[in-house]
Every structure is written in structure tokens, then in C-alpha cells.
């Protein structure tokens, strides 16, 4: 249900008191948030057991010489579904890697994030959006913060948040399903500032609520907006929440998350737009992350109303970026030229991802393409030419209580780590793929659980893997969970 807007006379009064100019990136802040500080004498909370936690067994010690990384945003340390972690398991028992702990979770489609020895998970429990900080190895909880939310998905999907938390410089940032942007202190859970962006900026409707993940870059929290007065993208001061700049464009926010990558020798902000609009519009914006100046906009959106842009852009060499959608147009490789304008390099209608991110290796893309479960399969494309090298609909059997059933990854996700490709299928299948331009081999596979909507990329940090089960397990009846697995190899 849409938030109730303030009366017209109140809106006019706000304009008089706090002008909201629309001049390129010169938007003015309609309501600067109150900033709070962590009390000097406030102790750091101790991690404690709580009622939704089930601890199984301690993980193995980290192997000697293992490389580890934090996971501060939903696609990992590089924003591309890769991590530099090493000495991870290459095989495991048929039942899957050993479970360390599991936490009963609420609704939503988010992933955990991990930094500074803390794991943060964002979800909805009853009528509140909840941010919880846990010990990554034990699941014990340091603190919990919540606020009320009113939202019901109009298509019958989850009513919880879609956007995962972000950790940066000792702070936690979350974007709620109703566009509430929150900043908390990581150690104590103290609210530092909070903004109701929908109420303040009049954000356009979404198909499934606000789903784009915020980006923290160079002291700014960058948000895909789609607000009134064509405020397409906004940057807020990381520490005060005050509006720093806005980018003006008619496209509305999509479910793709912004990222900053080096193109033409400088950092460029890339935001794939395309939300609930008639007629449907959207595409890739290239923006100066320091000022909000728009360099160019490349249109790329299916010509049908009920379509979304949800995948994160993938940057490759030669100042090129791959973007895709799965409804009509598929994927396209574009290049930023010397004048900072987009030019099409090649396109492939068949290589379009719904929300997953293609991973790169040796000049090739690997990804599960397709819009729905029946039309999803794994494919390999040459990055330089856009040529399809192969496609494969992986198939194997799983024991369902004495009955053999055929299984597929469907709209799966791929994580590249420790020189191999880990794959999580949307029904809870987890395995290792041997991928090359010549084909694919399924090296390991286990059915971790049998639950639909397993759409979140696995998270790996400090040799532990976190998988989110978003729906009921059809094999054992267990509810929604965040599960920690021991992925550490033996010495």
C-alpha cells in the first residue's frame, strides 16, 4: 500500500521553506535528517544466543595461509560475484558442507554482509523491518534494530526488503522496501540517521518495492531513486545523510544496483534504470560520481510494461560494459568512447539474465540466462564477439525420501572463488562447475534444501559460506533460514 502523501498546502509550504530546485545536479534537500551520535559511555554489546538461532557445530580452523576477504555488499568485494578467498572445499559429503549454525529469518530476498568481524542481515518480521548484527562464526546476536513498515507485494511475492545491507567505515546502511534509508553504528546498533525517501522525494511506484542496493563510495551513499522532478539518482553524505547531489533523468529506478568502475581512466558511476513506467523506459546511465553530472544514457529495456531491469552491469576491458534483461531484448555490450558517449559493440537477444550476474574467465562470460524456470539454462559467450560457445541445461537426480527426482539449477547463480565456480540453484541445489569455452562439467552437487526462490548469491567470508533459504523447505518443513556452512578446506 502506497504511503499517504501530505496535503497539498503542506507540500507548497515545504517548497517555500526549503526550495527544491531542479537544475541538473543542483537539487536541494527537502528535509535534512537529524544526526545522532553514539554515547561516549555506551558499551559495545556482547554477542548472545537468541531464540531464532540454532547452533550445530564449530567450523574447522582457517587453513594456514588462507586468503580471506570481507563481503560488504551483496555481490561481494568486487561487485561482480567474485571473491579472493582461498583454501575452500573442492568436495564434500553428499549431504553438503557441514552446517555451523542457522537462524530463522523473516521475509525478504536479501543476503548477509560481513565486515570487521560482524555479520549484518536485513529482513522483515511481522510489521517491522529488522536489522540484526551477528557473530559470523557462532550466529550469536550483538544487537537488533527495527522500525515499522507497511507494504504488501501486489504480485504476491515476499513483503520483506529486497535490498541487502551495506557496511562501510564502521557503519551499516539499509534501504527498505518502502524506500526508508537507514544508517546505524556497526558496533552498537545506534541509529545515526534515517530518511523516508518516498515521503521526502515522492519516489515513483515499484513493481516489487524498492530493490536497488545502495552504493557507498567516497563518503557518499548513492541511491537509484526515480523520484519527482526526474530525480533519477541521488547521493547522500555518508555520515550526515544530507543530499550532496542529484542526477536528473526521466528514467525510474530499477532492481539493478549502482556501481563505480574505472572507464576512460576515471571512476564512472553506472546505474541501470528501468522501473514501473508506461510506456516502459530505461537503460544505462554513466555519471560522474563526484558531482552527479550525467555523461550519457543508453536505452535498454524490454518493450513491455511488466518487465524489469534487474542485473548489475558487468565491466570488461576496453571501456566496455555488458547489460542485459530477459524479457525481449536480451543482452548488449556497449563501449564508452573518448567523448564519454555509449556505442553499441554487439548484442545477443538470447543471453539475457533475469537478475543473476555473468562471471568472466579467459575472455568468456558464464551465466544462467532466461526469464522463467522452464526457459533457464547455463550458457557461455565470447566477450569480444558476443558469439555463443555453448548452452547446457544441467540435469541430475536427487533422492527425495526414497524417490528419485530429476533436478536442474534453473535460474541459478554463480560465485567465482578459489579458482573454481560455485553454483547455487533456485531450489537449493549447490555444486561446483568446471567451466571453459568448450563446455561444462558438474563436479559436485548436493541438495542443501528443497525451497523455491533461492535467488540470493551465496556469501563467502573467512572460509564460511552463508546461504539464504527464502521459502519453506519441502523436504523437511523447515522455515525461512540463513544457514552458515563450513567451506574451509582441511590443512
Report how far residue 316's alpha carbon sits from residue 78's, in angstroms, rounded to the nearest whole number.
Answer: 13
Neighbours of 53 (CB within 10 A): 17
Query: Containing domain of residue 184, as a range?
Result: 45-486
What does the mean pLDDT of the chain come to? 93
Report how far residue 168's alpha carbon sits from residue 346's, in angstroms, rounded to the nearest whole number.
Answer: 36
The reported pLDDT for the residue numbered 153 is 87
DSSP characters for 452-489? S---SPPEEETTEEEEEE-S--TTT---SEEEEEE-BP
Report how far residue 187's alpha carbon sits from residue 203's, in angstroms, rounded to the nearest whole number.
Answer: 31
The 10s digit of each residue's pLDDT in 55-101 is: 999 999 999 999 999 999 999 999 999 999 999 999 999 999 999 99
Instruction: Inform me whether the pLDDT recorded for 5 exceeds 70.
Output: no
For residues 313-333, average pLDDT: 96
The reported pLDDT for the residue numbered 471 is 97
The reported pLDDT for the residue numbered 398 is 86
Give domain status of residue 36, yes or no: no
Instruction: Inform me whether the pLDDT recorded for 43 exceeds 90.
Output: yes
The 10s digit of each residue's pLDDT in 197-241 is: 999 999 988 889 899 999 999 999 999 999 999 999 999 999 999
- Side-chain half-sphere CA neighbours of 228 within 13 A: 13
Do the Cβ atoms of 351 and 331 come closer than 8 Å? yes
Tell which wins on pLDDT, 12 or 140.
140
Tell which wins on pLDDT, 491 or 363.
363
193 burial (CB, 10 Å; 0-12 / 13-18 / 19+) is buried
Which triple of cell numbers denotes residue 469?
A: 533459504
The reported pLDDT for the residue numbered 206 is 84
Do the Cβ atoms of 429 and 445 come closer than 8 Å? yes
Instruction: Inform me whether the pLDDT recorded for 22 exceeds 90.
Output: no
The reported pLDDT for the residue numbered 400 is 76
The reported pLDDT for the residue numbered 25 is 56
For residues 243-271, average pLDDT: 97
Instruction: Inform me whether the pLDDT recorded for 24 exceeds 70.
Output: no
The 10s digit of each residue's pLDDT in 147-187 is: 999 988 888 888 999 999 999 999 999 999 999 999 999 99
Give domain status of residue 179, yes or no: yes
Report how far residue 66's alpha carbon sits from residue 355's, in angstroms, rounded to the nearest whole number.
Answer: 31
Four-CA torsion 295, 296, 301, 304, nearest 10 degrees: 100
Beta carbons within 8 Å of 58's beta carbon, 6+ residues apart = 100, 137
The reported pLDDT for the residue numbered 404 is 85
For residues 237-246, average pLDDT: 98
Place of cell 536480451: 330
Which triple of cell numbers denotes residue 85?
A: 578467498
With cut-offs at 50, 70 and 90, classify the pLDDT of residue 315.
very high
Give domain status of residue 34, yes or no: no
Give domain status of residue 31, yes or no: no
Report how far residue 435's alpha carbon sits from residue 385's, in angstroms, rounded to the nearest whole number.
Answer: 19
3-state secondary structure of 70: coil
Give domain status of residue 3, yes or no: no
Q: How many structural domains compose the chain?
A: 1
Alpha-carbon 267 to chain mean position: 21
Q: Closest Cα to residue 259, out of 226, 224, 227?
A: 224
Q: What CATH number has the domain bearing residue 183?
A: 2.130.10.10
Which triple of cell numbers denotes residue 287?
A: 555519471
Report how far residue 77's alpha carbon sits from residue 84's, in angstroms, rounded to the nearest whole number.
Answer: 8
Relative to beta strand 82-83, strand 413-417 is parallel
Do the Cβ atoms of 480 and 472 come closer than 8 Å? yes
The reported pLDDT for the residue numbered 193 is 98
Instruction: Inform me whether the pLDDT recorded for 14 exceeds 70.
Output: no
Strand partners of residue 122: 131
Give domain status of residue 426, yes or no: yes
Q: Closest Cα to residue 281, out of 297, 262, 257, 260?
A: 297
Give domain status of residue 24, yes or no: no
Amino acid at each position: 500500500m502506497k504511503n499517504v502523501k501530505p496535503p497539498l498546502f503542506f507540500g507548497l509550504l515545504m517548497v517555500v521553506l526549503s526550495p527544491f530546485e531542479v537544475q541538473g545536479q543542483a537539487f536541494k534537500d527537502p528535509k535534512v535528517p537529524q544526526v545522532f551520535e553514539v554515547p561516549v559511555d555506551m558499551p559495545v554489546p556482547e554477542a548472545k544466543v537468541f531464540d531464532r538461532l540454532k547452533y550445530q557445530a564449530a567450523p574447522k580452523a582457517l587453513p594456514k595461509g588462507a586468503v580471506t576477504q570481507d563481503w560488504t555488499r551483496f555481490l561481494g568485494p568486487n561487485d561482480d560475484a567474485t571473491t579472493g578467498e582461498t583454501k575452500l572445499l573442492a568436495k564434500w559429503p553428499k549431504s553438503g558442507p557441514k552446517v555451523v549454525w542457522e537462524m530463522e529469518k523473516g521475509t525478504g530476498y536479501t543476503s548477509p554482509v560481513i565486515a570487521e568481524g560482524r555479520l549484518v542481515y536485513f529482513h522483515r518480521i511481522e510489521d517491522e523491518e529488522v536489522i540484526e548484527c551477528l557473530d559470523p562464526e557462532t550466529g550469536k546476536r550483538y544487537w537488533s534494530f527495527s522500525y515499522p513498515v507497511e507494504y504488501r507485494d501486489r504480485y504476491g511475492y515476499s513483503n520483506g526488503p529486497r535490498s541487502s545491507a551495506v557496511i562501510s567505515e564502521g557503519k551499516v546502511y539499509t534501504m527498505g522496501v518502502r524506500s526508508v534509508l537507514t544508517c546505524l553504528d556497526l558496533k552498537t546498533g545506534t541509529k545515526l540517521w534515517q530518511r523516508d525517501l518516498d515521503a521526502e522525494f515522492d519516489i515513483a511506484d515499484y513493481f516489487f518495492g524498492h530493490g536497488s542496493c545502495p552504493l557507498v563510495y567516497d563518503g557518499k551513499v548513492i541511491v537509484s531513486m526515480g523520484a519527482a522532478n526526474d530525480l533519477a539518482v541521488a547521493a547522500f553524505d555518508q555520515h550526515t545523510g544530507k543530499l550532496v547531489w542529484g542526477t536528473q533523468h526521466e528514467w525510474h529506478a530499477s532492481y539493478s544496483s549502482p556501481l563505480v568502475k574505472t572507464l576512460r581512466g576515471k571512476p564512472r558511476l553506472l546505474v541501470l534504470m528501468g522501473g514501473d513506467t508506461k510506456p516502459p523506459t530505461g537503460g544505462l546511465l554513466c555519471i560522474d560520481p563526484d558531482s552527479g553530472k550525467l555523461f550519457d544514457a543508453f536505452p535498454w529495456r524490454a518493450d513491455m510494461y511488466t518487465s524489469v531491469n534487474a542485473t548489475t552491469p558487468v565491466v570488461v576491458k576496453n571501456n566496455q560494459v555488458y547489460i542485459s534483461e530477459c524479457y525481449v531484448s536480451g543482452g548488449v555490450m556497449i563501449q564508452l568512447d573518448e567523448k564519454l558517449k555509449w556505442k553499441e559493440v554487439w548484442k545477443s537477444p538470447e543471453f539475457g539474465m533475469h537478475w543473476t550476474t555473468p562471471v568472466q574467465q579467459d575472455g568468456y562470460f558464464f551465466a544462467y540466462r532466461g526469464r522463467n524456470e522452464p526457459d533457464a539454462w547455463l550458457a557461455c559467450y565470447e566477450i569480444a564477439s558476443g558469439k555463443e560457445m555453448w548452452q547446457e541445461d544441467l540435469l541430475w537426480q536427487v533422492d527425495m525420501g526414497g524417490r528419485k527426482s530429476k533436478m536442474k539449477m534453473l535460474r541459478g547463480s554463480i560465485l567465482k572463488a578459489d579458482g573454481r565456480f560455485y553454483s547455487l540453484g533456485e531450489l537449493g541445489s549447490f555444486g561446483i562447475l568446471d567451466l571453459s569455452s568448450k563446455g561444462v562439467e558438474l563436479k559436485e552437487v548436493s541438495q542443501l534444501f528443497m525451497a523455491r526462490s533461492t535467488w540470493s548469491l551465496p556469501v563467502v567470508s573467512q572460509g564460511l559460506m552463508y546461504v539464504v533459504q527464502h521459502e519453506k523447505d519441502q523436504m523437511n518443513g523447515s522455515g525461512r533460514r540463513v544457514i552458515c556452512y563450513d567451506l574451509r578446506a582441511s590443512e
